[in-house]
Amino acid sequence: MMAVIAGAVITNLYCIQPILPLIADEMHVGLTAADLVAGAALLGFAAGLGLLLPLGDRYDRRKLVLTQIVLVSCLALAAALAPGIWTLTVVSFALGAVSCVPQQLVPFAAVMSAPAERGRSVGTVVSGIMVGILLGRTLSGVVGAAYGWRAVYAAEAVFMLPVWIAAALLLPRGVPSTTLPYGRLLASLWPLARDHRPLRESMLVQALLWACFNAFWVNLAALLATSRWHLDSAWAGGFGLIGAAGALAASWAGRATDRFGPRNVVGISIAIVTLSYLLLAGAESSLVLLVLGVIVLDIGVQAGLVSNQTRAFAVDPAAQGRINSLYMTATFSGGAIGVAASGWMMARFGWTGIVSLGIALGAIGALFHWMSGRHAATKTLQVVS
């Protein structure tokens, strides 16, 4: 049920991406300005992760989730009524901030699980999140093409009502793990990151992978509209169904992480994401390569998300909310940077710029992963000596 609720709420964050051309047309702005709305949602999500997730260690997570779902519904309605691009950008930031409900649920699942099953539990909830992201895009594209982009946000506002009822009836009560006041909770974030190298490594690698993920998806509608196929937002959203097949990789990655260790799965995920962009290099001329690239990209990113997150949670069982706050803030900050950078690259270099950006980010991630492995091996040899 946590996976279902998480997937339902996260649709509010990603429903905007297939309808960006519709927003640009109605509000008479360029795609670069419309991309700022999507970037604002991701930045808002990152802010919510940093400011709201630590509360899960201090208060009942069930109450936090219920409160945030109400706010999500109100802000989705405000987005549907936004009169201009800058108002929509501000509302999008606020909507992103309160949409961090799924990441309240991931540490909830981790705390409830035995260490040997933590990867599988995290993978189950992350599978729900990823299916929500991808299917949310699909429905958004279809609704947007038929009724306009405002109808997408209005539907999200109404959809949150049954989600709230399900969460109220089915979620267990959370047990706080600390009595620290809010200010000290936030102050404890820096020592956690400073003292735990595996947490820092997970944060950086996943930020790079999430930048790759969003660089593709935020520009897919523009690629389809301006390529020789001239496909509309419904088609862009339809690719979410293709990506949803790869969303099942999150569950597989959780089991693989439990069996082979998170760091090994992280290395594989970096390689898979880089491979996906090599396939996507031919997306302008081949729908087959575009479909394959979508599936491979989603498999790689989701495997990295689960394995990095499991590795981060192992740092301190009593600080799961704060660890997830650090980890996901870094992840979605990377996603926001990926959106902004890819918008610039798309405007100046077209699809070639997006592919170049994705390959470069993958190469940086691979280099950092290799260097951190050498550091760990050197430290182990020093201890043995």
pLDDT number for residue 246: 62
- Which tokens hold the place of 373? 């492995």
d(CA 119, CA 188): 25
pLDDT number for residue 381: 55
pLDDT number for residue 244: 66
d(CA 40, CA 46): 10
Q: Which residues contact 297 (CB under 8 A, 6 or more apart)?
A: 212, 213, 216, 243, 246, 273, 276, 277, 280
Q: How many CB atoms lie within 10 A of CB 206?
A: 29
Q: Among residues 100, 298, 320, which one has the least CA distance to residue 199?
A: 320
Q: How many CB atoms lie within 10 A of CB 190?
A: 10
What 14-17 contacts at long range (C-beta under 8 Å, 24+ apart), as own/partner pairs, is 14/133, 14/136, 14/137, 14/140, 14/217, 15/136, 15/137, 15/139, 15/140, 15/152, 15/153, 15/156, 16/41, 16/92, 16/140, 16/152, 17/137, 17/140, 17/217, 17/218, 17/220, 17/221, 17/236
CATH number (1.20.1250.20, 1.25.40.340, 2.60.120.260, 1.20.58.220) of 2-170+195-384 reads: 1.20.1250.20
pLDDT number for residue 377: 61
Domain ranges in the chain? 2-170+195-384
Q: Which residues contact 256 (CB under 8 A, 6 or more apart)?
A: 119, 265, 303, 307
Three-state DSSP class for residue 196: coil
pLDDT number for residue 380: 56
d(CA 133, CA 7): 7
Helix 61-80 to helix 149-170 angle (10° resolution) is: 160
- Taking 70 as the pLDDT cut, the residues of the chain under it are 232-234, 236-237, 240, 243-248, 376-385
d(CA 124, CA 104): 14
d(CA 39, CA 43): 6
pLDDT number for residue 245: 62
Helix 287-313 to helix 197-226 angle (10° resolution) is: 160
